[in-house]
A and B are shown apart, each in its own frame.
Chain A
């Protein structure tokens, strides 16, 4: 099978090229895209990509697979290509390429950092821990599971156009995770920091983020909740 891989070394190459590598796929098995990439790297050891856990937990191997972002390690080949078709791998769109499929995630992390993704609470800490009812805890489901793979942000046009000003789906999902936390007391300050025309309001509800999230999370819904909170705080 043919695997077409984006090759680019910004230090030596003028522009990126797509390199076709022919590999033998063992029959009778549905490989993950990451396995195919490993086979390709056997043929050409200079291919660069990130991976670690190979089970959808670390978020290292987000890439663009036949036009759609996903984690290579948990994307079965049969989901993305028909038999006989080419597998096309490109880096996550919209971030600077360091080498081949490896991108510079700095700006993604910077947006994440902006939302203060940690508990803020000025009350004196109780003896053991801050308690939460099971109902309040349940509000965090679907929010805390994010693994920061950046598949969502890099499929979001608003993030492509304003990566330095729009927080993006991943960061906003975390912003809401702490706004929704009964133990967090900084909602007012958090909302205050989000009400400019870019941080939240650049979201156009395109829902690319929802379509690609490998953990099945829904940033668009979280963004909607933030918007409602901003409206009730403003009014």
Chain B
């Protein structure tokens, strides 16, 4: 049986990288993205916490100056992408565990696709909205 993860069709640029390093679509690819994005998320959390420690008297101006720097913006956007990829792969995996014919009988496939579609909408929504926030003035 040939099961292809829906993210193959939706991850765009990542799919290109995917092909470029010859993973094709695979559980391995998902697995690596999941670990890699987790590292990015951890690094960003440390970065933000570190900023709070450095600026003991954090106010709006200090906060704004942090996010005025190109570094913070780029890092934030990379983190946002990592978060979205992490969430999508995670939700895809959860739905293929818990919305299957074992639990839901014949309707499982339709139910799963509908659910995954909403997850996809939410994730892309947040991605676009987030990029606007970080890149807008």
Contact surface of A with B, Cβ cutoff 8 Å: 158, 160-165, 195-202, 227, 230-231, 234-235
Q: Are A197 and B1 neighbours in the complex by a CB distance under 8 Å?
A: no
Q: Are A198 and B30 neighbours in the complex by a CB distance under 8 Å?
A: no
B5 CB-CB contact with A under 8 Å = yes
A162 in complex: contacting residue of B2, B21, B96, CB < 8 Å: B96
A234 in complex: contacting residue of B2, B23, B93, B102, CB < 8 Å: B23
A-B contact pairs, 21 of them (CB 8 A): A160-B102, A161-B97, A161-B98, A162-B96, A162-B97, A163-B102, A164-B1, A195-B26, A196-B3, A196-B26, A196-B27, A197-B26, A197-B30, A197-B96, A198-B96, A199-B27, A201-B30, A230-B28, A234-B23, A234-B26, A234-B32
Residues of chain B contacted by A199 (CB below 8 angstroms): 27
Residues of chain B contacted by A230 (CB below 8 angstroms): 28
Chain B residue nearest to A161 (CB atoms) is B97
Q: Are A201 and B27 neighbours in the complex by a CB distance under 8 Å?
A: yes
Smallest CB separation, B95 vs chain A (Å): 11
B52 CB-CB contact with A under 8 Å = no
B72 CB-CB contact with A under 8 Å = no
Q: Are A161 and B102 neighbours in the complex by a CB distance under 8 Å?
A: yes
Chain A residue nearest to B8 (CB atoms) is A197
B124 CB-CB contact with A under 8 Å = no
Interface bits B18-31 vs A (CB < 8 Å: 1, else 0): 00011100111111
8 interchain residue pairs of minimum CB distance: A201-B27, A197-B27, A195-B26, A161-B97, A195-B28, A230-B28, A197-B5, A234-B28
Residues of chain B contacted by A197 (CB below 8 angstroms): 3, 5, 26-27, 30, 93, 96
Smallest CB separation, A148 vs chain B (Å): 22
Cα–Cα, bound, A230→B21 (Å): 14
B100 CB-CB contact with A under 8 Å = yes
Task: Tell me whether chain B's interface is mostly helix, strand or loop, or mixed.
Answer: helix
Residues of chain A contacted by B97 (CB below 8 angstroms): 158, 161-162, 202
Interface size on B, residues (CB 8 A): 21
B3 in complex: contacting residue of A158, A160, A198, CB < 8 Å: A198
Chain B residue nearest to A166 (CB atoms) is B97
Query: In the complex, given contacts A161-B97, A234-B26, what are 8 additional A-B residue pairs having Cβ atoms less than 8 angstroms apart?
Result: A158-B97, A163-B102, A165-B3, A196-B26, A197-B30, A197-B96, A201-B31, A202-B97
Interface bits B29-61 vs A (CB < 8 Å: 1, else 0): 111100000000000000000000000000000
Q: Are B27 and A161 neighbours in the complex by a CB distance under 8 Å?
A: no
Cα–Cα, bound, A161→B5 (Å): 17
Cα–Cα, bound, A165→B1 (Å): 8
Chain B residue nearest to A200 (CB atoms) is B27
Cα–Cα, bound, A50→B22 (Å): 48
Residues of chain A contacted by B96 (CB below 8 angstroms): 162, 197-198
Residues of chain A contacted by B31 (CB below 8 angstroms): 201, 227
Chain B residue nearest to A160 (CB atoms) is B102
Chain A residue nearest to B7 (CB atoms) is A197
Chain A residue nearest to B89 (CB atoms) is A197
Smallest CB separation, B6 vs chain A (Å): 10
Q: Are B100 and A161 neighbours in the complex by a CB distance under 8 Å?
A: yes
